[in-house]
Amino acid sequence: MRPEPSTAGDAPAIRRLADVPRVPLVRTPSPLEEMSRLRAALGAGSRLLVKRDDAIPFGFGGNKVRKLEYVAAAALAEGADTLVTVGGVQSNHARATAATAAALGLRCLIIANGTRPDRPTANALLDVLLGAEVEYIASRDEREPAMARAFDRLRAEGRRPYLVPLGASTPLGALGLVRAIGELLEQATAPDAIVHASSSAGTQAGLMAGCALHGLRTRVIGVSADDPAADIAAKVREVMLGIGTMLGSDALASARDVEVDDGRIGDGYGVPTDASREAQRLAARTEGFFVDHTYTAKALGALVAYLREGRFREDETVLFWHTGGQVGLFA
C-alpha cells in the first residue's frame, strides 16, 4: 500500500527550490537498492529499501555533501575564501567541508573537539590530505565560542571567512535533503517510512520538509545517536520553519509530529552498542554495504528492532536512508 498524497503539498515551493543556487557536488542520484537478503534474514514481511548516500562519489560521500552544495554556493556568492566549521576529531561533516573547500579552491579551518591524534586516521587523516587547518579544543561546549574567535581572527588577517555550522544543519543546508526527496521520487514511489540517523537535525528537517512539499504522508523516523529526542525534535521544527520561509511556503508552518527515537544511544555519542554492532554485521553479510558502528549503525539497529517487533505492516515499504560515515570504520 502506497502512502496517500496529503493536501499540504506545495508545487510552487518545489519550483522555487530549483532556483536556489547550489554547487553541483552530487552529480548523479545516489543508488536506491532493495534489501531482500536482510529482509529474509530478519523474516520481515515489509519491503526494505536503502538509499545509498554513502555511495555519493564526491569526498567519500554522505548526506553532508548534499547540504554543502547550497552552503558552498552561498559562501562563494559572499566572496568567501575560507570555510570554517566544527565537529569531532572524526567528523564526517568536517571531512566533507574540507573536500568542498579543496574542490572550490578555498581554505578550510576545522574546529575539532577532542585530542590531536598522534597519528591521524580515517576522517582526521583525510582532513590533513585535503589541506584543512585543524584547531583542537577540549569539549563540545567550546565549539561556538571557538568558531566566533576564529572568524574574528581570520577577518583581522584580511581573509574572508564563511561559517558553516555543525552539520551544515541550517535551513539553507537542509535544502539538500528537500531536493533529495525529489530525487527519490524519480527512482521509486514514495515509501511508507524512512528511517535514518539524526543528530544535528538538518537531515531530518530536510527529509520531512521534502515529504510535506511533495504532498507525501511518509513517516520520517530519526534515530538519535546522542541528544534527547525533545531537543532534536525542537531543532527539526525550527529548521523546517526556516525552509518554509526560504521557499515561501506555508506547508511547513504546522509541522507534523517529529518522530525521534532516543532509545538507541547506549553509553553516548561515538560509543557502539550491541545492537549497532549486530546491525553492522547484518548489513555487511547480507547486503554488502557498510555502516559505521557508532552512528549509522545505531539507526540501522533501530530499524532491525522495529522489524522484529512487527512495527510495520507486511504491505508497507520501509527505506533506510544511509547517511554515510563508513570512513569511521578506519579510525
Radius of gyration of the chain (CA): 19
Catalytic annotation present for 91? yes
Q: Which of 124, 110, 107, 115 is nearest to 165 (CA)?
A: 110
Question: Distance between CA atoms of 283 and 312, rounded to whole angstroms?
Answer: 19
Question: Distance between CA atoms of 277 and 7, rounded to whole angstroms?
Answer: 41
Among the listed residues 6, 30, 46, 91, the single catalytic one is 91
CB 266 within 8 A of CB 294: no
Residue 198's identity, in one-letter code, is S
Question: Distance between CA atoms of 186 and 59, rounded to whole angstroms?
Answer: 24
CB 252 within 8 A of CB 243: yes
Give residues with Cβ within 8 angstroms of 275, minimum separation 6. 264, 298, 301, 302, 304, 305
- Enumerate the β-bridge partners of residue 107: 82
Task: Catalogue the active-site residues.
Answer: 91
